[in-house]
């Protein structure tokens, strides 16, 4: 009897790992575009199940797929792509074949699976409406949670989710998660309200974010959120380099960048890391590289940012950083001045944070200081 108890205790430790630690996977995903909407979703669901299988080999307990990952950017055609998502508590048997395939993969591999899709629903007058929705399958294939995006971005045919909807869930590996979608990260509801009680230490962020100079680059928004709020962030971005979409990562509540990926070359990528307050910076260098070439271009040459800000509203100064620098720059708008203390070191790895694009379109290894003129 004693022997059995000992064995059970050991098995329990083995199964749960160290307290407060778990293994997370996020997928940077480049959606396939097939002949019909249903074929597109089916083909991408198939890819998802392969990622789930691969994540299981590295012991992932939860996996996150990106916003618009199953369809690509089809927010202008919800009537062709949207599907009904059963209520929380449903499953593990579904009439929708694609949902069934995902649920089977979740159950077979004992993994929590977070998927985003356009959801079709009825309003109170039985009129069809559409949401941008994350749903979570638990490790038994049941629908554990749903979240409908509140802050829509260029999605005029969709209905915003309710501000007071429940967007959190509990896992059997003793971690609670909150979740939201893309543009949501810039608004109190839900990006701060979700974590306001202090109970939620893990946030899932599905996105189809495009890189926008100067300050809305995907990785710094993601890392900034984790650092500012002291939460673990699992950020999964859709990849479409021709539109500048991409950049995913896993970030620790202690400020660590546990894994990240950003590239100018279009591809999907599985990121996996242990997550927990004692897990330290362990990232593999997967960032933009100046020397990797593909079809004769470097990753950096292929990397696109969208310049959606009006540079005339900014004061921009170039600072030559090739030799390292320590300087103070003062930027004034009438009587209002900002002083920037700049202290730079030349990076020793062949990886850079961001290249600027000069007016003639040439890549320009300088950094910019800017202040908004308002
Ligand atoms: C990728 O972006 C291009 C350019 O915006 C667009 O034409 C294409 O449909 C996008 N692909 C997907 C899968 O969203
Ligand atoms: C919406 O209403 C239609 C017709 O009443 C029904 O067939 C469909 O299942 C409903 N959808 C949802 C998501 O409740
Ligand atoms: C909506 O559709 C359902 C099922 O078709 C029906 O039972 C219900 O009465 C309808 N509600 C309204 C407000 O029309």
Q: Annotate 23-57 with three-state secondary structure.
A: EEEEEEECCCCCCCHHHHHHHHHHHHHHHHHHHHH
Q: Which one of the ligands is nearest to 67 CA?
A: 1
- Domain match, 132 and 250 both: yes
Task: Indicate if the pLDDT at residue 4 is higher than 80.
Answer: no
- Does the global pTM surpass 0.85? no
Task: Select from 302, 322, 341 the last residue of a domain.
Answer: 302
- Domain match, 244 and 331 both: no
* 216-247: pLDDT as tens digits: 889 989 998 998 899 999 999 999 988 889 99
What percent of the chain lies above the pLDDT cut of 70?
77
Query: Count of domains in the chain?
Result: 2
Which ligand 1 atom is the nearest neighbour of the CA of 74? 14
Pocket test for ligand 1, best of 118, 242, 264 (most atoms within 8 A of CB): 242
Rounded to the nearest integer, the mean pLDDT of the chain is 84
- Domain match, 177 and 73 both: yes
**Ligand 1 center–CA 242 separation, angstroms:** 7
Neighbours of 46 (CB within 10 A): 12
127 lines ligand 3 (CB under 6 A): no
Q: Pick 358 or 184 by higher pLDDT.
A: 184
Task: Select from 268, 302, 336 the last residue of a domain.
Answer: 302
Q: Pick 343 or 159 by higher pLDDT.
A: 159
Domain that holds residue 163: 21-302
Pocket test for ligand 1, best of 72, 155, 245 (most atoms within 8 A of CB): 72
Cβ-count burial of 197 within 10 angstroms (0-12 exposed, 13-18 middle, 19+ buried)?
Answer: exposed
- Domain match, 193 and 326 both: no
Q: In the structure, what pLDDT confidence band is assigned to residue 295 with cuts at 50, 70 and 90?
A: low
Alpha carbon nearest to ligand 2 atom 6, residue: 122
H-only helix segments in 230-372: 299-302
128 lines ligand 2 (CB under 6 A): no
- Domain match, 296 and 321 both: no
pLDDT the model gives residue 11? 43
pLDDT the model gives residue 166? 97
- Domain match, 50 and 127 both: yes
What percent of the chain lies above the pLDDT cut of 90?
61
- Domain match, 209 and 336 both: no
- Domain match, 318 and 298 both: no
Q: Which one of the ligands is nearest to 244 CA?
A: 1
121 lines ligand 2 (CB under 6 A): yes
pLDDT the model gives residue 358? 44
pLDDT the model gives residue 310? 65
Task: Indicate if the pLDDT at residue 352 is higher than 70.
Answer: no
b/e map 297-313, b = 16+ CB within 10 Å: ebbbebbbbeeeeeeee
- Domain match, 169 and 39 both: yes
Task: Select from 276, 302, 328 the last residue of a domain.
Answer: 302
């Amino acid at each position: 009897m004693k022997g059995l108890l000992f064995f059970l205790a050991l098995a329990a430790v083995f199964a749960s790992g160290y307290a407060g630690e778990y293994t997370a996977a996020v997928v940077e995903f480049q959606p396939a575009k097939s002949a019909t909407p249903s074929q597109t979703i089916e083909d991408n669901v198939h890819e998802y199940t392969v990622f789930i299988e691969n994540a299981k080999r590295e012991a992932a307990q939860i996996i996150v797929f990106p916003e618009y990952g199953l369809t690509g950017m089809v927010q202008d055609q919800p009537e062709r792509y949207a599907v009904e998502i059963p209520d929380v508590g449903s499953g593990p048997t579904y009439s929708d074949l694609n949902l069934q395939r995902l649920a089977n993969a979740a159950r077979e591999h004992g993994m929590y699976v977070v998927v985003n899709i356009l959801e079709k629903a009825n309003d109170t007058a039985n009129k069809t409406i559409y949401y941008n929705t994350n749903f979570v399958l638990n490790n038994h294939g049941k629908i554990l949670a749903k979240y409908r995006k509140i802050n829509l971005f260029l999605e005029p045919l969709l209905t915003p989710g309710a501000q007071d909807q429940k967007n959190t869930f509990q896992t059997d590996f003793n971690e609670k998660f909150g979740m939201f979608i893309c543009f949501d990260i810039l608004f109190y509801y839900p990006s701060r309200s979700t974590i306001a009680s202090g109970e939620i230490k893990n946030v899932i962020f599905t996105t189809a974010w495009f890189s926008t100079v100067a300050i809305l680059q995907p990785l710094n928004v993601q890392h900034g959120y984790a650092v500012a709020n002291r939460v673990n962030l699992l950020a999964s971005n859709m990849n479409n380099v021709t539109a500048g979409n991409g950049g995913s990562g896993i970030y620790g509540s202690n400020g660590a960048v546990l894994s990240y990926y950003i590239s100018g070359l279009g591809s999907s990528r599985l990121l996996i890391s242990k997550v927990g307050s004692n897990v330290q910076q362990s990232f593999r260098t997967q960032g933009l590289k100046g020397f990797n070439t593909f079809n004769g271009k470097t990753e950096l040459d292929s990397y696109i940012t969208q310049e959606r800000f009006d540079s005339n509203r900014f004061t921009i100064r170039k600072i030559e950083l090739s030799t390292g620098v320590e300087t103070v720059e003062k930027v004034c708008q009438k009587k209002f001045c900002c002083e920037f203390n700049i202290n730079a070191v030349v990076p020793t790895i062949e990886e850079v944070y961001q290249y600027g694009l000069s007016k003639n379109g040439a890549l320009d290894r300088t950094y910019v200081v800017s202040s908004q003129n308002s």
